[in-house]
Amino acid sequence: MRRSPRCLALLLTLALAPAAPARGQSWDFGQRNTDLEPAFANQTRAPRLESGVALQLETLAEGLDHPWGIAVLPEGGYLVTERGGTLRHIGADGAASVPILGVPQVLARGQGGLLDVALATDFASSRFVYLTYAKPMGDGLSATAAARGRLSADLRQLTDLRDIFVQTPPSPTAAHYGSRIFPAGPHVWITTGEHSSPRERVLAQDLATSYGKVIRLMADGSVPPDNPFVGQPGAGPEVWSFGHRNIQGAARRPGHSQLWTLEHGPQGGDELNLIERGANYGWPLVSYGQDYSGAPIGSGGARAPGLTEPRYFWDPVIAPGGFVFYRGALFPDWQGDIIAASLTPGGIVRLRLSGDTVVGEERFLYGQMRIRDIEIAADGAILALEDAAEGRLLRLTPAPQGQTRP
């Protein structure tokens, strides 16, 4: 593990798109895969935002093995997962620890491995940390799982680790694990994928499985009695919403009780969703994208009665990772905006909301690197994980006044 000095901060000239449209028009990020019409204005290709902000990029740590999730510690520093199965503490100065002991055994194959990390709401007193991971289930099978353990005061090990959720049934396909975890008050939200294969993707519509679902549990893994399918025969009581493909972003909107998610679509059709109790989000019955073969998804349409529309979609895709609603002092004009990770073409996507509708989009680091997760540091800096074999933890701040993006 190498450490990168803070003095290596570089000012990036951050490209947006190859050619800027007139103010108020949307950015043109390429030809759409389908001609499916949006359901309402600004559901896709919202007008461009032009903040005039130039970002300064600083490498806090490098040499990370496909980092996947990050959590900011209240005492300073960060917890970062590496997909191969390692959890590390990275100090505020960028010094990376040896692997923290006590993490679960993972299936580090395909898209599987050690995935998200989050702190319990009461971490300051309980020291509870949540992890999600691809749990090996024998005979080549695996499942999305979530575990909770206590982080020692010296940051060297997890103790009392136990699973609070294991997806059912186990899958032979090491793909589409979903796997964001979001503690909120007495509850914890877990997102799952549907493992991608045509045979398995249909299980996103099957309430008896936890494929392609948003899961809502109590912090200890028990089922809240007010979940929508509690007591319904043949339905998993842990299910909150269903009909999802592969959710890799989840966040609560400041000042609201709303949970929002970012979901990978197929070829086109990545989605920003406002998650509603018991709602069906349509996969694989409908989609704003198409199969990688070029074949239509499900009915070939984008919507159907009884299915919940995404609040925004991308075609072509951004391949979303984690995201946050920005709160902090360093970007005062971005309060409440979505700051999202993009794996393909890569970079960071900023969205502005009015009510529940996206009214503007801006992009940074366009096509320059795969970003897997986003967090906000205590001082308001944007933290980004570069997903690569020699990945980095990056700190993004506004460039000094007088330096502007051309």
Distance CA 393, CA 387 (A): 9
Instruction: Establish whether 256 is a catalytic residue.
Output: no
CB 372 within 8 A of CB 65: no
* Helix, strand, coil share (%) of the chain residues, nearest 5: 5, 40, 55
* CA pair distance 271, 306, nearest whole angstrom: 18
- 139: which residues sit within 8 A by CB, 6+ positions away? none
Closest CA to 399 of 114, 11, 8: 11
Beta bridge partners of 72: 78
Cα–Cα distance measured from residue 295 to residue 274, given in angstroms and rounded to the nearest whole number: 28
| DSSP assignment letter at 8 | G
What is the C-alpha separation between 231 and 132, in angstroms, rounded?
Answer: 27
Distance between CA 62 and CA 385 in Å, rounded?
A: 10
Catalytic residue among 176, 195, 244, 264: 176
3-state SS, residue 354: strand
Answer whether 235's CB lies under 8 Å from 208's CB.
yes
- Which residues, other chains included, contact 20 with Cβ-Cβ below 8 Å and sequence gap of 6+? 27, 48
Pairwise CA distance, residues 141 & 134, whole Å = 10
Instruction: Name residue, tokens 């349509």.
Output: 282
Q: Which of 189, 207, 351, 181 is nearest to 271 (CA)?
A: 351
Helix (H, G, I), strand (E, B) or coil at 203: helix
Among candidate residues 306, 312, 313, the one with its CA nearest the CA of residue 289: 313
What are the structure tokens assigned to 230, written together? Answer: 């509690």
Q: What one-character DSSP code corresponds to residue 377?
A: -
Active site residues: 176
